[in-house]
């Protein structure tokens, strides 16, 4: 086997790994994840650059989970010639049904907005791909049960194991008669309020491991305490709590926490709550259809769905910007890189009685990262918007395991991999994760570079 790192090196986005396998009857090429680069402009430009392999030469794609930094390149991959099967879990398929068309819609919408406002350097501005491209990609998805072994042909097999990050998220194992490699995807937390803990990893010859929080530990405090404090402080000012959320995972977790706070009297039951993301609304409904993967009962799922008013129309979304607080708005995207939340930021960020509350990792180059680092203004639709609202962070609501939780998970491996490759982390985090593993587990570890190739024997 030969492994090529086509993304998620030096960054937490653009996850793509090409596995080239020589068999008795030819060469098999499997792409693990097919994600978009997000954040810094030099990363986003990679989405427009040609890959070092033509899509038509790839035999299959395997998705670890549905988040756009792992799936969002798929419509373009199909547009450019890929015609094989895309393997994923059932919940990942269901979530991709809403995530990929939404990603296409946002790109078409942004290109149209840029053309109408004339702030693009390109004339005309074009989307990376269209909704038609997303629909074509969805036709190739093949759902696979957890722990089911899939024959990829020529002696290659594939299987998924739950990793607790979001619905459908999985560790991916690919192996032939001699060698096995596991791709961790994004690893969930052992005590997440919604998701069940990651399955244990028994053994593998090679491991490709995420490191989003490779240099950090999550606070060992109940996030409800800070959430209640932020909400109550803002409500006292008659302000708006605007929470940029990832439509899949964090939106549902925040709704459940708000439900618990209202039920306990920690915040007023009268505070209006709005979920303004059609994608998050659909994802919340899907949550009830996959009860085996999460911790909530049917009754708790029902309570989660009743916690917020679900905003679907553009008109209602616009009206929220003219509505006075107090109120809570949850809106995608989680890093404020697109979606309806950017329109809310234009309306609410300039007012000092409001609060912008972040609840997940903010990649370098995103508006979320800029605001948390004290930016006095952010650029939206070609204009600079002043940040006068409070900017807060609840760091331990992340769906990613921290480095200690990852080390604990790795501790169950019966024998060390021949090599562990650290990816999906910004440089400092990835190198810190390398050091933790080397010092605590004494494994052979490497932090690969973009487009690096390694041979797996």
Q: What is the tens place of the pLDDT at every residue in 291-343?
A: 889 999 989 988 888 899 999 898 999 999 999 989 999 998 888 988 899 99
Write down the pLDDT at residue 173: 98
* Average pLDDT of every residue of the chain: 93
Confidence of residue 203 (pLDDT cuts 50, 70, 90): very high
Tens digit of each residue's pLDDT (9 = 90 or more) over 409-427: 999 898 999 999 999 999 9
Confidence of residue 362 (pLDDT cuts 50, 70, 90): confident
- Percentage of the chain surpassing pLDDT 90? 77
Write down the pLDDT at residue 121: 67
Q: Which residue has the tokens 């409800």?
A: 224
The rounded distance, in Å, linking the Cα atoms of 350 and 252 is 27
Confidence of residue 39 (pLDDT cuts 50, 70, 90): confident
- Alpha-helix runs per DSSP H in 158-242: 223-236
Please list the residues that pair with 172 across neighbouring strands.
160, 183
Given a cut of 80, whether residue 242 has pLDDT beyond it is yes
Write down the pLDDT at residue 41: 84
User: Of the candidates 413, 432, 276, 427, which has an alpha carbon nearest to the alpha carbon of residue 341?
Assistant: 276
- Alpha-helix runs per DSSP H in 265-402: 278-287, 298-306, 314-320, 341-348, 367-372
Write down the pLDDT at residue 85: 98
Write down the pLDDT at residue 120: 63
Residue 313 neighbours by CB under 8 Å, 6+ apart: none
Question: Is pLDDT larger for residue 101 or for residue 280?
Answer: 101
The rounded distance, in Å, linking the Cα atoms of 159 and 388 is 49
Residue 169 neighbours by CB under 8 Å, 6+ apart: 64, 65, 66, 89, 92, 162, 163, 185, 186, 188
DSSP state of 239: -
Given a cut of 80, whether residue 124 has pLDDT beyond it is yes
- Alpha-helix runs per DSSP H in 23-180: 41-44, 68-71, 74-79, 90-117, 131-138
Confidence of residue 209 (pLDDT cuts 50, 70, 90): very high
Confidence of residue 284 (pLDDT cuts 50, 70, 90): confident
Write down the pLDDT at residue 109: 81
Q: Is 137 exposed, middle or buried (0-12, 13-18, 19+ CB in 10 A)?
A: buried
Confidence of residue 119 (pLDDT cuts 50, 70, 90): low
The rounded distance, in Å, linking the Cα atoms of 170 and 360 is 20
The rounded distance, in Å, linking the Cα atoms of 372 and 367 is 9
């Amino acid at each position: 086997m030969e492994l090529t790192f086509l993304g998620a090196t030096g960054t937490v986005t653009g996850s793509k790994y090409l596995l080239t396998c020589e068999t008795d009857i030819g060469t098999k090429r499997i792409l693990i994840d097919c994600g978009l680069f997000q954040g810094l402009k030099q990363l986003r430009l990679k989405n427009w650059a040609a890959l070092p392999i033509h899509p038509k030469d790839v035999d299959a794609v395997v998705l670890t989970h549905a988040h756009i930094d792992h799936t969002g390149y798929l419509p373009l991959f199909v547009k450019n010639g890929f015609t094989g099967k895309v393997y994923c879990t059932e919940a990942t398929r269901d979530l991709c049904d809403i995530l990929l068309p939404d990603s296409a819609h946002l790109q078409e919408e942004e290109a149209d907005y840029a053309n109408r406002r004339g702030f693009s350097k390109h004339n005309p501005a074009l989307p990376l791909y269209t909704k038609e491209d997303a629909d074509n990609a969805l036709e190739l998805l093949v759902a696979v049960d957890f722990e089911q072994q899939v024959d990829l042909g020529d002696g290659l097999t594939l299987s998924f194991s739950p990793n607790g990050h979001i619905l459908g998220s999985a560790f991916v194992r690919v192996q032939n008669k001699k060698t096995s490699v596991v791709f961790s995807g994004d690893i969930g937390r052992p005590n997440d309020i919604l998701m069940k803990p990651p399955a244990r990893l028994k053994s593998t010859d090679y491991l490709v491991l995420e490191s989003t929080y490779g240099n950090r530990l999550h606070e060992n405090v109940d996030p409800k305490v800070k959430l209640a404090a932020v909400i109550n402080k803002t409500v006292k000012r008659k302000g708006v709590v605007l929470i940029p959320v990832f439509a899949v995972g964090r939106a549902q977790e925040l709704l459940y926490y708000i439900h618990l706070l209202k039920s306990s009297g920690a915040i007023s039951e009268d505070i209006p709550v709005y979920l303004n993301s059609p994608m998050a609304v659909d994802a919340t409904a899907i949550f009830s259809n996959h009860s085996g993967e999460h911790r909530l009962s049917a009754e708790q799922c029902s309570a989660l769905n009743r916690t917020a008013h679900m905003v679907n129309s553009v008109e209602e979304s616009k009206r929220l910007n003219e509505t006075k607080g107090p109120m809570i708005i949850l809106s995608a995207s989680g890093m404020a890189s697109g979606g309806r939340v950017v329109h809310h930021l234009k309306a609410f960020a300039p007012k000092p009685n409001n609060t912008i509350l972040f609840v997940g990792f903010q990649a370098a180059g995103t508006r979320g990262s800029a605001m948390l680092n004290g930016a006095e203004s952010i650029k939206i639709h070609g204009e600079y918007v002043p940040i006068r609202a409070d900017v807060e962070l609840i760091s331990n609501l992340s769906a990613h395991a921290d480095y200690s939780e990852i080390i604990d998970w790795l501790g169950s491996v019966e024998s060390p991999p021949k090599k562990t490759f650290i990816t999906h982390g910004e440089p400092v985090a990835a190198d810190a994760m390398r050091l933790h593993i080397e010092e605590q587990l004494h494994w052979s570890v490497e932090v690969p570079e973009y487009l690096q190739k390694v041979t797996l024997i």
